[in-house]
Structure 1
């Protein structure tokens, strides 16, 4: 595997000819699974947002590092996380003209961060690999049967990728035997430059929670300035590998210091700051959607029961029933009109 630095060095001698660019932007939402099937009443707000993509995220579970087997597609899981549920969600979204990225994900008991999950013994590694392959290949088959538009082979699994790169190269080969559409992997913002298999995929997928500002309520110029080094890094990798950049997740909480550590999911009591969330999203759109190398992204996150979530007292990620929803709607609408 060549290091990123060596790849960048090669650019100096090879030039930038033949780079892939993006024509239709992905204006997506991360569509959260529920206990039930979805219908027009759940998809209407997604249509009204002018989203052209939705990510469906069937979760699997791991108990602990001592029991690393991936558990999925069980009767006790919510309908939207099962094979049947994924097929139903995809069918309904496609019926509304909304394309789908299928993005199977892992949840570790007690909310342990997946990026640091690393078995201690070879036997544990093998158990993880076998069950993870079963998980991903099961949904790769579903993706093919349901004509899913993009399939994501993993989300924020840095230590797994770092320690078992050969496994991941083999997994990509196996997925391609099952699924014939476009592929990506959702690397965390601080992981993606080290991912060794981008050349085998169609998109460089990034969960785009880049830190931008230390300010309580950052101004537009703070956020624009904060983006510049990250944009430069992403563009260099795009040029080096000739792959478009896709934000497999992106978003901000509606709270103070929203751009300081955008990845925080804890139940903190920071004050609600609706304007900061809306501004941070607007700056993402202004800075990245104009770039030819940027494919678009999926807002984190969107709940099917629209009228029951979000709102002016909510400091979580969802933009629903907040000013940020209108920010997204206007941007996605403008994108639709410009591409039409």
Structure 2
């Protein structure tokens, strides 16, 4: 298994990587035994139907910020996947960025404008990745509605390969692993593996393992058909009761804390997937830039963080054993 990874610092603000607090959190994340870290860089478009992706100097990471993060990882012999992402300022999920497939005379007006902006966006970070020696670049995250636009994606990939020489991956969503027909031009197929493996009440480790085995069998067939090994570019579960049945959830703040259910989610998927030869690894979601420092704080946290929770020891144990 190639990728013993984690995603660090989604939503990091400019200058944060130069602060002692974030440097300390970054090193704690690497202490899990990582050999890869994913650095997400998110820009914004105004609405799901906007055709321009914009950069905001107040909120978006500069080249210097990214350089700092990459250099910290490389100083500890940890490889880097740079992951540019797009969010919608209106709160709509990026999967729903969508336009009509052509106007009345068959011209793809809106998609062509959007892909022109998206290609420029990705090429900028592809050049950053090449300059900084990032070992992998993720070309998009959960862009489900756009995945059908094969011509535009293949053109984008061709442009990226002119400026970037590292590995390429795309991050689709669970259940959509065969929608992007153009992944044959990439090195890996990535997915956000927020599969329902628990129950809203009474989730057990054994039950989760059984469901992960079924998920793994299904993904193995997809890997064979697509001809690519699979990476879980996102995966995780909050330390809240019932979240193994909806591991993508971040909205239900009223759920009671359940550290064991979170740990069982991590244990079950690591146990099952680490034995599959078509599976290349994990980038867990996500380690906060300003992670808490005490067990007392951890005992109040119901987010995706695993620091000072049972799941942290699970990840450390498996990452130390996996070759």
Report the equivalent of 2:44.
61
Structure 2 CA distance, aligned partners of 1:257 and 1:95? 39
Task: Name whichever of 271-280 and 252-261 sits farther off.
Answer: 252-261
Separation in 2, partners of 1:157, 1:134: 16
RMSD: 1.8
Deviations for 1:138-170, whole angstroms, at most 9, x for unmatched residues?
0001111111111100000010112x2110011
Q: Give the Å deviation of 1:34.
A: 3.8
Q: How many residues align?
A: 309
The offset of 1:267, in angstroms, is 4.1
Q: Secondary structure at the match of 1:58?
A: strand
1:303-318 alignment runs, 5 A limit: 303-307=288-292, 311-318=298-305
Is this contact kept in 2: 1:216–1:258, CA < 8 A?
A: no
**Superposition pairs of residues 64-143 of structure 1, within 5 angstroms:** 64-72=47-55, 74-78=56-60, 81-120=61-100, 122-143=108-129
List 4+ stretches of structure 1 deviating above 4 A: none
Map of 1:8 onto structure 2: none
What does residue 306 of structure 2 align with?
A: 319
Q: 1:152 aligns with which of 138, 161, 166?
A: 138
Shift of 1:95: 0.8
Gap runs ≥5 in structure 2: none
Spell out, residue by residue over 1:231-281, the C-alpha distance to the aligned partner (whole angstroms, 9 max, x if none): 112111222233211011111111111121211221431111110000110
Task: Give the structure-2-normalised TM-score.
Answer: 0.90
**Distance in structure 2 (CA, Å) of the matches to 1:45 and 1:331:** 17
Contact 1:217–1:256 (Cα < 8 Å) also in 2: no
Partner of 1:7: none
Unaligned runs of 5+ in 1: 1-23
CA gap 1:293/1:118 in 2 versus in 1, 3 angstroms: same
**TM-score, with length taken from structure 1:** 0.86
Q: How does 1:21-40 map to 2 (within 5 A)?
A: 24-32=1-9, 33-35=12-14, 36-38=16-18, 40=23
Q: Are residues 251 and 138 of structure 1, via their aligned partners in 2, closer, same or farther at CA, if it must alter by over 3 Å?
A: same
Task: Determine the C-alpha separation between the residues in 2 that align with 1:241 and 1:249.
Answer: 20
SS at match of 1:29: strand
